[in-house]
Structure 1
Amino acid sequence: MFKMVTTLMRGRSHDAVEAFADANALSILRQQLRDAADGLEKAKRAVAVVMAYAARERQTAARIAGQIGDLETRAMDAIRQGRDDLATEAAAAIAELEAEQAAVARAIAHYDTEIRGLREQVGLAGQRLRALQRGKQIADACDRTQKLRGTMPRGFPASLREAEETLERLRSRQEHAEEVEIALSDLSVDTSAGATAARMAAAGCGAPLRPDAAQVLDRLRAQAH
Structure 2
Amino acid sequence: MFNLIVTLLRGRAYDAEQAFVDRHAMPLLSQQIRDAAQRIQYARHAVAVAIAQNDQEKKQYATILARIADLETRALAALAQHSEDLARDAADAIAYLEAERDTSEKAQAQFTTAITKLKAILRTAEARLQELQRGERLARATQEAQKLDIAVAGSGLATLDEAEETLGRLRDRQHQSDTIASVLRDMDSPSRTAGIVEKLANAGCGAPLRSSADDVLARLRARTNDAA
TM-score, length of structure 1 as denominator length: 0.68
Q: CA deviation at 1:123?
A: 0.8
Q: Which amino acid aligns with 1:45?
A: H
Aligned to 1:154: 154
Q: Secondary structure at the match of 2:154?
A: coil
Report the secondary structure of 1:82's partner residue.
Answer: coil
Task: State the number of aligned residues.
Answer: 172
Shift of 1:97: 0.6
Distance (whole Å) between structure 1 residues aligned to residue 45 and residue 28 of structure 2: 26
- Map of 1:92 onto structure 2: 92
**Superposition deviation, residue 22 in structure 1:** 0.5
Post-superposition Cα deviations, 1:59-95, rounded to whole Å, max 9, x if no partner, equal: 1111100100111111112222222221221111111
What is the aligned partner in structure 2 of residue 39 from structure 1? Answer: 39
In structure 1, what is the equivalent of residue 220 of structure 2?
none
User: Secondary structure in 2 aligned to 1:152?
Assistant: helix
Post-superposition shift, 1:156?
Answer: 5.2
Q: How does 1:28-177 map to 2 (within 5 A)?
A: 28-152=28-152, 154=154, 157=157, 160=161
User: CA separation in 1, counterparts of 2:156 and 2:82?
Assistant: 109
Structure 2 CA distance, aligned partners of 1:3 and 1:123? 48
Q: What is the identity, as a one-letter code, of the residue corresponding to 1:43?
A: A
**Does the CA-based 8 Å contact 2:47-2:119 persist in structure 1?**
yes
Uncovered stretches (5+) of structure 1, i.e. residues with no partner = 172-225
Matched, 1:23 2:37: no
Question: Is this contact kept in 1: 2:151–2:157, CA < 8 A?
Answer: no
In 2, distance between residues paired with 1:22 and 1:155?
26
Residues 29 and 66 of structure 1, relative CA distance in 2, 3 Å threshold: same
d(CA) in 2 for partners of 1:61 and 1:40?
31
Residue 198 of structure 1 aligns with which residue? Answer: none
Task: State which drifts further: 83-92 or 64-73.
Answer: 83-92
* Contact residue 57 and residue 104 of structure 2 kept, 8 A: yes
Q: Secondary structure at the match of 2:121?
A: helix
- What is the one-letter code of the residue matched to 2:102? A
Structure 1 residues 130-185: Cα deviation after superposition (integer angstroms, max 9, x where no partner): 01111001001011112222333625556749x78xx7xxx9xxxxxxxxxxxxxx
When structure 1 is superposed on structure 2, of 1-10 and 99-108 the one drifting more is 1-10
Q: CA 1:25–1:81 in structure 2 vs 1: closer, same or farther (change >3 Å)?
A: same
**Aligned CA-pair RMSD:** 2.8
Tell me the distance in 2 between the aligned counterparts of 1:157 and 1:150: 9
Change (3 A) 1:155 1:34: closer
- TM-score with structure 2 setting the length: 0.67
Provide the C-alpha distance between the structure 2 equivalents of 1:157 and 1:116, rounded to a whole number of angstroms. 59
1:65 partner amino acid:
L
